[in-house]
């Protein structure tokens, strides 16, 4: 049976108690006597026909002798006078080997274990250990007795998926920049151990000893700041999606958002990105998406083959799952749980991709709790501090140089679901102020079956592309001029459009159909690496440069239709095949013939 988590503090006794004086949905007001702390975990007790339950909650505001708690579960039955137990601990997650391949809720309860014990309908007040206590891991020591270590330094490793999971000296939270030093006094030899067994013992400068196990506990709302240097994101994170890598790239350690109306393909883009992105670990945070999309993700990922390893994609994936039917407070917890897990793997020198779907649900949860707290509302009733909360979340991404000289990164990509596809609403605008790339999805392109449905004339990126920048600027000018001609044709009609402008329009349609769109079901076209993108985009740029001359618009249309089909066929040919070079040559010959070169 999976181990459960209790509600007591680490010393086995709660630090304070209080009693409920008010309940407003998931907001509970508690009167207390001993001091309590912001973001402290508490358990609200209530009597039910099945027995006594304790509902997990977090302190979100302290006012004199009263504390406001957001409860992570349904509060039906909770009433004034019920006892509340404060734990003296901040809202935290367990970190260690075994996180990958798992599906957790926002409080890091393993859903598979919960379903196995509780059945199809998960009851309230049940909390499970995040890591399996029975699994044994092959430990290899990496430090020698007598060595001086600091928090975050590696004492040993265990194999997890395709990389080595570092067992680190635990971090001390809430202290200044000066971290303690520890001397390694004991370390276990090569062997198989559970996560709770002591694998090393360290001693600080005052002679106090600390046992090191494979498990660490990190508060979710305190970012790690123990590193040598924070670097500006510069190296592209290749997603193998051409419109992203070439036109609107994302950098390792960078941030980006994917806003768009419902049904425009946000979840699909995230799934494709998580499969093909050049990262070591993927953390998916379904922070309030609809249950159908979450179920599809959970069912699909174990069956997908990881193109990097040939094994299951879930072996380097961790999913944090909170559907829109779960309490609003759990949506906020899921976001912070996910980013803390991502930071943990970054501290091992790995590149991590965190995908949050969708941050609009999280913002709506903030709005609901802010309303219950009776705070002064901002635009569209969102809290006035919405922008700073969103910024603090995305700022936890980044590329770091660690103290041992290795590099690790957390790249954060969040989807936004603005009502009616209105990008002027507060959540989208607050997100755009802090991210480095904007992939705006278009309802018009989605309805026209132009996938990915990223709008090429509204999206932008601050990061470096994988293709030549000069050729990229020229291609964007073609798209802009083509849009202008398209708008003019809606008024004048095709017959009233000069053939020179019509050719510009056809060029932009050729670029859109042949390069920006991809067939996700084709083995070759579904994922285009950086080298292939550079090669094919260079050819595309040359084809767009030619000054084509045609006597009639029908002849121009037929030529570009033929050129588009040839280029699409080229997209499906493996780069190492002889046919690839032959098709490239044929495309050039067709263009030179039409341009009379």
| Tens digits of residue pLDDT in 127-137 | 999 999 999 99
Q: Are 188 and 139 in contact (CB under 8 A)?
A: yes
| 524 in any annotated domain | yes
CA pair distance 585, 593, nearest whole angstrom: 12
**How do residues 551-575 score in pLDDT, each as one tens digit?**
899 999 999 999 999 999 999 999 9
- Range 16-40 average pLDDT: 94
> Pairing state of beta strands 66-71 and 51-63?
antiparallel
Judgement on whether residues 416 and 501 belong to the same structural domain of the protein = no
| 148 in any annotated domain | yes
- Range 533-543 average pLDDT: 97
Q: Are 446 and 265 in contact (CB under 8 A)?
A: yes
Judgement on whether residues 435 and 482 belong to the same structural domain of the protein = no
| 388 in any annotated domain | yes
- Range 199-216 average pLDDT: 93
Q: Are 597 and 545 in contact (CB under 8 A)?
A: no
**Integer CA distances (angstroms), 329 to 91, 233, 415, in order:** 13, 32, 19
Q: Looking at residue 291, what is its pLDDT? A: 66
Any long-range contacts for 7-14 (C-beta under 8 Å, 24+ apart)? Answer: 7/41, 7/43, 7/54, 7/56, 7/85, 7/87, 7/127, 8/87, 9/87, 9/88, 9/89, 10/89, 14/85, 14/86, 14/87, 14/88
Q: DSSP string of 126-165? A: --B-SS-SS--EEEEE-S-TT-EE-TT-EEEEEEETTEEE
Angle CA 491–494–500, to nearest 5? 110
Sign of the CA dihedral with 426 first, then 428, 431, and 436 last:
negative
- Range 25-50 average pLDDT: 92
How many CA atoms, within 13 angstroms, populate the side-chain half-sphere of residue 155? 30
Judgement on whether residues 320 and 387 belong to the same structural domain of the protein = yes
Judgement on whether residues 421 and 452 belong to the same structural domain of the protein = yes
Q: Average per-residue pLDDT in the chain? A: 91
Judgement on whether residues 278 and 200 belong to the same structural domain of the protein = no
| 120 in any annotated domain | no
Instruction: Identify the domain containing residue 60 by its residue range.
Output: 1-89
Judgement on whether residues 362 and 263 belong to the same structural domain of the protein = yes
Residue 137 CB partners (closer than 8 Å, separation 6+): 97, 98, 158, 159, 160, 165, 192, 193, 194, 195, 214
**How do residues 99-151 score in pLDDT, each as one tens digit?**
999 999 989 999 889 888 988 777 889 999 999 999 999 999 999 999 999 98
**How do residues 403-418 score in pLDDT, each as one tens digit?**
889 999 999 999 999 9
The domain boundary, picked from 57, 89, 121, lies at: 89
Q: Which residue has the higher pLDDT, 419 or 230?
A: 230
The domain boundary, picked from 461, 492, 525, lies at: 461
Q: Looking at residue 176, what is its pLDDT? A: 41
**How do residues 470-513 score in pLDDT, each as one tens digit?**
999 999 999 999 999 999 999 999 989 999 999 999 999 999 99
Judgement on whether residues 364 and 442 belong to the same structural domain of the protein = yes
Q: Is the pLDDT of residue 9 over 50?
A: no
The domain boundary, picked from 461, 479, 497, lies at: 461
566: left (phi over 0), alpha (psi -120 to 50) or beta: alpha
**pLDDT tier for residue 241 given thresholds of 50, 70 and 90:** very high
**How do residues 315-362 score in pLDDT, each as one tens digit?**
999 999 886 667 777 888 999 999 999 999 999 999 999 999 889 989
Cα pseudo-dihedral 287, 55, 115, 165, rounded to 10: 60
Sign of the CA dihedral with 364 first, then 432, 58, and 2 last:
positive
| 95 in any annotated domain | no
Q: Looking at residue 358, what is its pLDDT? A: 85
As to burial, measured by CB atoms within 10 angstroms (0-12 exposed, 13-18 middle, 19+ buried), residue 552 is exposed
Judgement on whether residues 408 and 385 belong to the same structural domain of the protein = yes
Judgement on whether residues 198 and 82 belong to the same structural domain of the protein = no
- Range 300-308 average pLDDT: 83
- Range 174-189 average pLDDT: 75
- Please state the pTM of the whole predicted model: 0.94
Q: Looking at residue 339, what is its pLDDT? A: 97
Sign of the CA dihedral with 540 first, then 543, 546, and 552 last:
negative
Q: Looking at residue 1, what is its pLDDT? A: 46
| 100 in any annotated domain | no
List the CATH number of the domain containing 520. Answer: 1.10.1140.10
Q: Looking at residue 498, what is its pLDDT? A: 94
CA pair distance 51, 530, nearest whole angstrom: 59
H helix or E strand, kind and range, residue 587:
helix 578-595
Task: Please provide the distance, in angstroms rounded to a whole number, between the alpha carbons at the two ends of the chain.
Answer: 76
* Annotated binding-site members: 260-267
Q: Is the pLDDT of residue 7 over 50?
A: no
Q: Looking at residue 290, what is its pLDDT? A: 66
Q: Is the pLDDT of residue 8 over 70?
A: no
Provide Rg for the chain, Cα atoms: 27
| 200 in any annotated domain | yes
Q: Is the pLDDT of residue 13 over 60?
A: no
Share of the chain above pLDDT 70, in %: 95
CA pair distance 597, 592, nearest whole angstrom: 5
| 102 in any annotated domain | no
Sign of the CA dihedral with 447 first, then 479, 244, and 288 last:
negative
Q: Is the pLDDT of residue 204 over 90?
A: no
CA pair distance 438, 515, nearest whole angstrom: 19
List the CATH number of the domain containing 284. Answer: 3.40.50.300
**pLDDT tier for residue 12 given thresholds of 50, 70 and 90:** very low
Q: Looking at residue 174, what is its pLDDT? A: 43
Q: Is the pLDDT of residue 184 over 90?
A: yes
Share of the chain above pLDDT 90, in %: 77
* Annotated binding-site members for ATP: 260-267
Q: Looking at residue 325, what is its pLDDT? A: 63
Q: Looking at residue 180, what is its pLDDT? A: 76
List the CATH number of the domain containing 23. Answer: 2.40.30.20
- Range 274-300 average pLDDT: 84
Judgement on whether residues 485 and 453 belong to the same structural domain of the protein = no
Structural domains of the chain, count: 4
**Length of the chain in residues, anyone?**
597
H helix or E strand, kind and range, residue 249:
none
Question: Which pair of tokens denotes residue 100?
Answer: 């990958």
Judgement on whether residues 267 and 391 belong to the same structural domain of the protein = yes
Judgement on whether residues 179 and 162 belong to the same structural domain of the protein = yes
């Amino acid at each position: 049976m999976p181990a459960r988590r209790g509600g007591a503090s680490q010393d086995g006794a709660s630090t304070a108690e209080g009693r409920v004086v008010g309940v407003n949905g998931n907001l509970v007001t508690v009167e207390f006597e001993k001091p309590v702390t912001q973001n402290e975990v508490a358990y609200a007790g209530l009597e039910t026909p099945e027995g006594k339950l304790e509902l997990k909650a977090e302190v979100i505001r302290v006012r004199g002798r009263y504390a406001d708690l957001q409860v992570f579960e349904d509060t039906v039955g909770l009433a004034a006078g019920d006892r509340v137990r404060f734990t003296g601990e901040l809202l935290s997650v367990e970190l260690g080997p075994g996180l990958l391949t798992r599906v957790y809720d926002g409080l890091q309860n393993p859903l598979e274990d919960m379903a196995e014990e509780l059945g199809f309908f998960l009851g309230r007040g049940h909390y499970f250990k995040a890591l399996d206590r029975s699994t044994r891991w092959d430990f290899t020591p990496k430090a020698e007795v007598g060595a001086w270590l600091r928090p975050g330094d590696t004492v040993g490793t265990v194999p997890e998926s395709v990389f080595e999971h570092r067992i680190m000296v635990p971090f001390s939270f809430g202290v200044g920049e000066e971290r303690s030093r520890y001397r390694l006094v004991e370390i276990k030899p090569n062997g198989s151990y559970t996560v709770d067994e002591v694998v090393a013992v360290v001693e600080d400068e005052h002679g106090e000893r600390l046992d090191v196990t494979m498990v660490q506990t990190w508060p979710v709302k305190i970012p790690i700041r123990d590193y040598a240097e924070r670097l500006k994101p510069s190296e592209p994170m290749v997603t193998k999606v051409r419109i992203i890598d070439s036109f609107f790239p994302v950098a390792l350690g960078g941030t980006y958002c994917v806003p768009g109306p419902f049904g425009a393909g946000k979840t699909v883009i995230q799934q494709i990105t998580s499969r093909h992105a050049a990262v070591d670990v993927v953390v998916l945070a379904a922070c309030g998406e609809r249950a159908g999309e979450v179920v599809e993700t959970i069912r699909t990922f174990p069956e997908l083959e990881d193109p990097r390893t040939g094994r299951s994609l879930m072996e380097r994936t961790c999913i944090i799952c909170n559907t829109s039917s779960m309490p609003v407070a759990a949506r906020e917890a899921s976001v912070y749980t996910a980013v803390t897990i991502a930071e943990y793997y970054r501290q091992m020198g790995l590149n991590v991709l965190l995908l949050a779907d969708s941050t609009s649900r999280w913002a709506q949860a903030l709005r609901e709790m802010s309303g219950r707290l009776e705070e002064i509302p901002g635009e569209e009733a969102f809290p006035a501090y919405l922008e700073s909360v969103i910024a603090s979340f995305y700022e936890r991404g980044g590329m770091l140089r660690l103290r041992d000289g290795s590099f690790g990164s957390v790249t954060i990509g969040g989807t936004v679901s603005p009502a009616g596809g209105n990008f002027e609403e507060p959540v989208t605008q607050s997100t755009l102020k802090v991210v480095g790339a904007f992939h705006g999805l278009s309802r018009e392109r989605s309805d026209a079956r132009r996938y990915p449905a990223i709008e090429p004339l509204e999206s932008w990126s601050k990061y470096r592309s994988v293709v030549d920048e000069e050729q990229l600027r020229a291609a964007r000018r073609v798209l802009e001029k083509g849009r202008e001609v398209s708008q003019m044709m809606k008024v004048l009609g095709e017959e009233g459009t000069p053939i020179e402008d019509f050719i510009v329009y056809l060029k932009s349609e050729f670029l859109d159909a042949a390069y920006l769109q991809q067939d996700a079901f084709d083995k070759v076209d579904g994922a285009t690496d950086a080298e292939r993108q550079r090669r094919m985009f260079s050819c595309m740029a040359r084809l767009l440069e030619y000054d084509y001359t045609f006597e009639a618009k029908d002849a121009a249309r037929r030529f570009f239709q033929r050129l588009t089909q040839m280029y699409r066929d080229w997209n499906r040919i493996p780069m190492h095949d002889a046919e690839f070079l032959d098709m490239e040559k044929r495309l050039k010959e067709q263009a030179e013939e039409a341009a009379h070169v």
